[in-house]
Structure 1
Amino acid sequence: MRSSKVDKRAQILLKTLVEHYISEGQPIGSRTLLQHSGLDVSPATIRNVMSDLEQLGFIASPHTSAGRVPTKKGYRLFVDSLMTVQPLDQRALAQLKTGLSSPDPQALINNAADMLSQLTQFAGLVMTPKRSRNVLKHLEFLHINDKKILVILVTDDGQVQNRIVLTDRAFSASELTTASNYVNSHCQGLTLEEVQIKLKQELQQMQADINHLMSAALDAASQPEPSEKEAVVIAGERKLLEVNELSTNVGSLRKLFEIFERRTALMQLLDQSQRADGVQIFIGGESGYLALDECSLVTAPYEVDGQVVGTLGVIGPTRMAYERIIPIVDITAKLLSSALSN
């Protein structure tokens, strides 16, 4: 529900409640809201508004307390419409700039995950850049057997990728040489993504089987399969053991750490976030993963030379200080982009 459907007084009370609950971790009562909201209303009015917010699903009453706590729907309204993002303090900014000053790209990625964890006290994660950004230097097809071809692809940074391509029919040595020569003469110096686009546009006149072979080879080569642990760098996941809301639920913790170990779900979420414009926030079940139901994920894409190549972010409890976490994630992404581009 958009904030426009909640009147101004209710918005102020919800904002006050969320901020105090994030700060204190205890259900918030009407008296506290009356003291801190700045509204000149009676306690009865506060109680009535709180009852309305509860009926709308923005807050809930724990069984053991007369106070209220925000629901995931309440957090979403707060994050989208009510929150005041805090500027990053100079000490944290200096720490980030120092940590993201290495000339080594992998060290920068590792440091970014560490910095996110240190500054938020939650788990920091960075999806490594997709290798499809690499520029083609040389490609060669080699015959293995009747329907199996070895693709050797060399990129401008010296990486050599070997991929096996299964074909529908056998190819002669001369056909493989023709295919290799065509790619090398027409596509050298392009990124793998640009090679794919170019081939789709220009190979219509070539023999259909050769066209299929090259498309299959480039699909395989442009989607390397690094291990899951190489694809996502995670730092500080054990800090989540110190979060009360998470540490008391052993089952949820176990599922959460299974996600950290396998990382497949995190890769999918980060890949989805890579297509977003700026900071994106998944609250609880919005991620689509049950293990993250009690968590929030704050992400931002990062770039190399103006092209988005990966995503970084923070995983923590839904009761996190979003107004402080968001600028940390946002500025880390910008500084990492600058460092990798330079």
Structure 2
Amino acid sequence: MKDRDLILMKSLIESYVREGHPIGSKALLKHSHLSISPATVRNIMSDLERQGLLLSPHTSAGRIPTTQGLRIFVDQLVKVKNLETDALAQLKSTLDPNLETNTILGRASSVLSDMTKMASLVQLPSKPFQQIEQIEFVPLSERKLLVVLVLKNDEIQNRIIPVERNYSRQELSRMADFLNEHFSGKDLTTVKNQLLKEMIFDKERLDSMMQQAVTLASAGLDEAINHYQDFHVSGQTNLVSMATHGQIENLEQIFQAFKQKQQIVEILERSILADGVKIFIGEESGNQNLSDCSLVTAPYKLNGESIGVLAVVGPTRMRYDKVIPIVDVTAKLLSNALSMKIKDE
């Protein structure tokens, strides 16, 4: 895209975020401060519409950005603002490592909502201190396998998973030995994250049998972690206000997504390995109930290992330049608070 096209699109999206209605060529020319004719502006807007970056919601000449247009805006055109000193001080005082862990997480959710004026989620860690002592595989009926997780606190969890073929006891023993050598003594979340990395990045390093071991263990841990999974939610009333002002259309569907927590958890899990902030715009979340929303997410860590994700949920026409740094800094300060708490204990 030419520089002037990007300038016009940036100006259009900023105007749309601020005003909430389709932007016409005359208003766009005024906001962009470009020295071009209105006819040129109309031609550029038509071209951007043909590319799928803008659309005309009505018969008027005004246009709004599509999800693809917003994605280019977020990835290339947003200038993220630094947090003001007062906001940073508020976050630091709120996330006090001397408080109980669950209280700190609840406060993180509340402060995110207060600062962004949107809804916020903070995923509870999946029993970060639940360490795995041993993993075993037991063959059951045809194409079914029992995954046995023995945890350090003498808790035993059994999960039945489907498999693509039957395995001999010797194969299962070899796979269990490999997993126990690498993951015994580590907590559930750390093991899950390392298994994901193995599946995504290190396939070439593992032989076929060990690849299957990683896949089977990952499937077993999915259910074990979901057994504990939950999240704090704050600021849902902010979404009601946004719906009243026309920023969100399908409020009932959004609340339905919150109620069906597993749908939200699946989205958050896609951010657990992210290096910082990750943004889902509209249908990018893969959840039809959230097609009117954007989620700005970031993982938080304990001693360098990601153990959960926090997120802000709001309309697709949110102020990304303000929300992104709030989410980013909150995740980092939450990580610091939890690590300090564990160190002191």
Scaled by the length of structure 1, what TM-score is found?
A: 0.74
1:15 aligned to 2:10?
yes
Residue of structure 2 equivalent to 1:206: none
Q: Which runs of 5+ in 2 are unaligned?
A: 137-145, 161-179, 196-212, 341-345
Q: Aligned AA for 1:295?
A: C
Q: Aligned AA for 2:322?
A: R
In structure 2, C-alpha distance between the alignment counterparts of 1:258 and 1:92, rounded to whole Å: 32
1:122 aligned to 2:122?
no
Q: Aligned AA for 1:123?
A: A
Q: Which has the larger radius of gyration?
A: 1
Range 328-337 or range 269-278, more displaced: 269-278
Scaled by the length of structure 2, what TM-score is found?
A: 0.74
Residue of structure 2 equivalent to 1:51: 46
In structure 2, C-alpha distance between the alignment counterparts of 1:149 and 1:273, rounded to whole Å: 26
In structure 1, C-alpha distance between the alignment counterparts of 2:18 and 2:247, rounded to whole Å: 19
In structure 2, C-alpha distance between the alignment counterparts of 1:20 and 1:28, rounded to whole Å: 7
Residue 224 of structure 2 aligns to a residue whose secondary structure is coil
Task: Judge conservation of contact 1:245–1:317 (CA < 8 Å) in 2.
Answer: no
How far does residue 188 in structure 1 lie from its aligned partner after superposition?
7.8
In structure 2, C-alpha distance between the alignment counterparts of 1:254 and 1:101, rounded to whole Å: 35
Superposed CA RMSD: 3.6
Q: Cα gap change, 1:278/1:249 in structure 2, threshold over 3 Å: closer, same or farther?
A: closer
In structure 2, C-alpha distance between the alignment counterparts of 1:22 and 1:260, rounded to whole Å: 25
Residue of structure 2 equivalent to 1:113: 109
Q: How does 1:72-87 map to 2 (within 5 A)?
A: 72-87=67-82
How far does residue 264 in structure 1 lie from its aligned partner after superposition?
0.6
Q: How does 1:87-166 map to 2 (within 5 A)?
A: 87-103=82-98, 104-131=100-127, 133-135=129-131, 153-155=151-153, 161-164=155-158
1:71 aligned to 2:39?
no
Range 125-134 or range 264-273, more displaced: 125-134
In structure 2, C-alpha distance between the alignment counterparts of 1:107 and 1:44, rounded to whole Å: 58
Residue of structure 1 equivalent to 2:20: 25
1:289-308 per-residue CA deviation (whole Å, 9 max, x = no partner) reads 11111111110111100111
Point out 4+ residue stretches in structure 1 off by more than 4 angstroms.
Answer: 148-152, 186-190, 192-197, 218-222, 245-250
Residue of structure 2 equivalent to 1:336: 334
Q: Which runs of 5+ in 1 are unaligned?
A: 1-5, 142-147, 167-182, 198-211
1:145-187 per-residue CA deviation (whole Å, 9 max, x = no partner) reads xxx99987444xxxx6453578xxxxxxxxxxxxxxxx9xx99
% identical aligned pairs = 42
1:280 aligned to 2:283?
no
How far does residue 248 in structure 1 lie from its aligned partner after superposition?
8.1
Q: Aligned AA for 2:15?
A: H
Q: Aligned AA for 2:236?
A: E
Residue 131 of structure 1 aligns to a residue whose secondary structure is coil
Q: Cα gap change, 1:164/1:66 in structure 2, threshold over 3 Å: closer, same or farther?
A: closer
Residue of structure 1 equivalent to 2:260: 262
1:103-151 per-residue CA deviation (whole Å, 9 max, x = no partner) reads 2111111111111111111110011112255346x78x9xxxxxx9998
Q: Cα gap change, 1:341/1:32 in structure 2, threshold over 3 Å: closer, same or farther?
A: same
Q: How does 1:97-246 map to 2 (within 5 A)?
A: 97-103=92-98, 104-131=100-127, 133-135=129-131, 153-155=151-153, 161-164=155-158, 190-191=186-187, 219=220, 223-226=224-227, 231-244=230-243
Q: Cα gap change, 1:190/1:325 in structure 2, threshold over 3 Å: closer, same or farther?
A: closer
Residue 270 of structure 2 aligns to a residue whose secondary structure is helix
In structure 1, C-alpha distance between the alignment counterparts of 2:220 and 2:62, rounded to whole Å: 56
Task: Judge conservation of contact 1:240–1:246 (CA < 8 Å) in 2.
Answer: no
Q: Aligned AA for 1:223?
A: A
1:38 aligned to 2:33?
yes
Task: Judge conservation of contact 2:159–2:224 (CA < 8 Å) in 1.
Answer: no
Task: Judge conservation of contact 1:302–1:336 (CA < 8 Å) in 2.
Answer: yes
Residue of structure 1 equivalent to 2:166: none
Task: Judge conservation of contact 1:247–1:253 (CA < 8 Å) in 2.
Answer: no
In structure 1, C-alpha distance between the alignment counterparts of 2:108 and 2:271, rounded to whole Å: 17
Task: Judge conservation of contact 1:259–1:291 (CA < 8 Å) in 2.
Answer: yes
How far does residue 41 in structure 1 lie from its aligned partner after superposition?
1.0
Residue of structure 2 equivalent to 1:325: 323
In structure 2, C-alpha distance between the alignment counterparts of 1:324 and 1:255, rounded to whole Å: 26
Task: Judge conservation of contact 1:130–1:310 (CA < 8 Å) in 2.
Answer: yes
